[in-house]
Amino acid sequence: MSRFKDDFIWGAATSAYQIEGATNVDGRTDSIWDTFCRGKGNIRDYSSGEVACNHYENWQHDIGLMEQLGLQAYRFSISWSRIMPNGCGEVNQAGIDFYDRLIDGLLEKKIKPYITLFHWDLPQSLEDRGGWQNADIARWFGEYAGVLSERFSDRVENWFTLNEPQCFIGLGYHVGSKAPGLQLDVKESLQALHHSLLAHGHSVRALRSNAKNPIKVGPVQTGTVAYPFENNPAYKEAAYRATFNVHGSNEDNHGYYQWKVPVNPLWNFAWYADPIFLGHYPEQGLEVLGNKAPKFTDQEMEIISEPVDYCGLNLYSGFPVVADAECGWYAKERPLGNPLTAFKWSMTPEIMYWAPKFFYERYKKPIYITENGMSAHDWLSDSDKVSDPQRIEFLKSYLKYYRRASDENLPIKGYFLWSLMDNFEWEQGYEERFGIIYVDFESQKRCFKDSAYWYQSCIKTKGKNLF
Ligand code: PNW
């Protein structure tokens, strides 16, 4: 009988700015998201993360909910400007204390903490000095990572470095939809991205050199995964290439558009992951980008490719492709009226099998799915219940494909559902609910959605309730 392996880790994920609130207490300074939320028209419902789930005060209660769910692991991120109000230099003990309490509280309930160093909330003080455009950021981030390792690695074994540079550089510095809302040209954006890769490398070295106990670490990537429309060698090969291609212009996208928005060279996997895992930028990307490629040295590529232990993948949606004699591949249109989430992202569970397969073939590293889930417009019924059958269907079908990866002995290590609870969904504010726990943002009351009870039994049965 097919199953998830016994040591497979069942978890859930959040990020600091999306849940903590308390943005202005105990020495925390502004991040670029605090600033961005104040900007007119940046956030759909004019909200911010100022209160969010007030997890900064409710953390004990929230750990209780995790325990009730039966979570084996919890992936959360650390607010850089709580730890270092100036981004570098002085360390804020009150910030350290908060995460000390959280880590100890988790361990007490036998929930393994998985720390993400950075989930988009760059200290504003560093943005004021150029942020990711300033090459010094590699050093600043290394220093920050060193502090976290020094303080927490006695109790925390598993670490992730940067969450989705595709988003915080691609969407934050190039498209402009996320903080800090810059619209740099491709060349400038790729240079900023190069600095973020260097920062990743520096952080891996700093984490290891300050570690009190052996640690494991890896990056977290996202993107839009191509999968074969039919499972045959030609389509598989086409989908592999479509997944790892760097897209130069709209013309060479073969009908593939990202959420109906034309894709751009900042939205792909290989440009971000090849340097880390293979030690060089992808040939195909260098060709497509020509003189827009960043400047780099061999020594920098060595820092970037500092060996890591695993690869984190945040998987939400993908697209089917077919092989084509003339252009190699093209995106097969989804049927009219195909299943969509509230965000209008297509339901494409196939990616949970194909992404781990393609990533393992290319990079030969164990894989965690560090985020997966969907937004729905859930509400509380009269009887204080939240019925979210679509989310249960979504999770079931995605996890079935993930289990297929396990059946084929791909080294998949675990699964972190996005998200533990409804939270501040960036520029969408509170209008997209990704949680399996419902949050009433007025009263701060939490309530298990039906999907939370379903996930509880999924964890308990190690996925046997999927069939
Ligand atoms: C992730 N895409 O972002 C983030 O890590 C979370 O903080 C966020 O809440 C979650 O997904 C839901 O949006 C992504 O366009 C944003 O493919 C966009 C994409 C993927 C991930």
Q: Which of 127, 350, 371, 427 is catalytic?
A: 371
Tokens of 105: 């509280």
Contact predicate 392/51, CB 8 Å? no
> Would 410 be classed as within a structural domain?
yes
> Would 4 be classed as within a structural domain?
no
> What CA–CA distances, in Å, run from 118 to 210, 283, 368?
18, 28, 17
> What CA–CA distances, in Å, run from 274 to 126, 140, 304, 315, 364?
27, 23, 10, 18, 12
Q: How far apart are CA 448 and CA 455, in angstroms?
A: 10
Tokens of 119: 């989930």
Q: How far apart are CA 386 and CA 447, in angstroms?
A: 8
The residue ranking higher by pLDDT, 261 or 338, is 338
> For 109-261, where are the alpha helices, taking DSSP H only?
124-127, 137-152, 165, 186-210, 233-244
Q: To which residue do tokens 């339901």 refer?
A: 347
Residue range 97-130, pLDDT digits in tens: 999 999 999 999 999 999 999 999 999 999 999 9
Phi first, then psi: give them for residue 208, nearest 5 degrees.
-70, -45
Lowest average pLDDT, out of 38-42, 182-186, 256-260, 308-312, goes to 256-260
Average pLDDT for 322-327: 88
Residue 382 Cα to ligand 1 middle (Å): 31
> Would 183 be classed as within a structural domain?
yes
Rg (CA), the chain: 21
48 pLDDT higher than 80: yes
248 pLDDT higher than 90: no
35 pLDDT higher than 60: yes
**Residue closest to 91 by CA, chosen among 186, 210, 189:** 210
Q: Total structural domains in the chain?
A: 1
- H or E element in which residue 94 lies: helix 93-108
Share the mean pLDDT of the chain.
96
**What is the percent of the chain with per-residue pLDDT over 70, rounded to a whole number?**
97
369 pLDDT higher than 70: yes
326 pLDDT higher than 90: no
Residue-number span of the structural domain to which 336 is assigned: 9-466
Q: Assign 290 to helix, strand or coil.
A: helix
Contacts of 47-51 spanning 24+ positions with Cβ under 8 A: 47/424, 47/429, 47/430, 48/23, 48/424, 49/17, 49/18, 49/20, 49/21, 49/23, 49/424, 50/21, 50/23, 50/24, 51/21, 51/441
Q: To which residue do tokens 């929930």 refer?
A: 111
> Would 99 be classed as within a structural domain?
yes
Residue 221 Cα to ligand 1 middle (Å): 10
Q: To which residue do tokens 């890769």 refer?
A: 197
Nearest atom in ligand 1 to 224's CA: 17
Residue 372 Cα to ligand 1 middle (Å): 9
Residue 93 Cα to ligand 1 middle (Å): 31
Helix axes 450-460, 55-69, angle to 10 degrees: 50
pTM value is 0.97
DSSP string covering 373-426, please?
A: ---B-----TTS-B--HHHHHHHHHHHHHHHHHHHTT--EEEEEEE-SB----G
> Would 198 be classed as within a structural domain?
yes
Residue range 235-246, pLDDT digits in tens: 999 999 999 999
CATH number for the domain including 276? 3.20.20.80
Contact predicate 285/389, CB 8 Å? no
Q: Assign 444 to helix, strand or coil.
A: coil
Contact predicate 201/219, CB 8 Å? no
> Would 3 be classed as within a structural domain?
no
- Residue 345: predicted pLDDT: 94
- Residue 302: predicted pLDDT: 98
Residues flanking ligand 1, CB < 6 Å: 15, 18, 163-164, 167, 222, 224, 314, 316, 371, 418, 425, 434
> What CA–CA distances, in Å, run from 379 to 61, 68, 382, 394, 449?
21, 22, 10, 18, 9
Is 143 a catalytic site residue?
no
- H or E element in which residue 452 lies: helix 450-460
155 pLDDT higher than 60: yes
Q: Assign 333 to helix, strand or coil.
A: coil
Q: Which of 20, 164, 300, 350 is catalytic?
A: 164
* Amino acid residing at 405: A
**What is the percent of the chain with per-residue pLDDT over 90, rounded to a whole number?**
92
Is 150 a catalytic site residue?
no
Lowest average pLDDT, out of 253-262, 281-290, 409-418, goes to 253-262
> For 166-318, where are the alpha helices, taking DSSP H only?
186-210, 233-244, 270-278, 283-289, 298-304
Whose CA is closest to atom 8 on ligand 1? 425
- Residue 255: predicted pLDDT: 62
Burial of 252 (0-12, 13-18, 19+ CB in 10 A): middle
- H or E element in which residue 222 lies: strand 216-222
> Would 2 be classed as within a structural domain?
no
Q: To which residue do tokens 């692991």 refer?
A: 73
Nearest atom in ligand 1 to 428's CA: 13
> Would 89 be classed as within a structural domain?
yes
- Residue 2: predicted pLDDT: 72
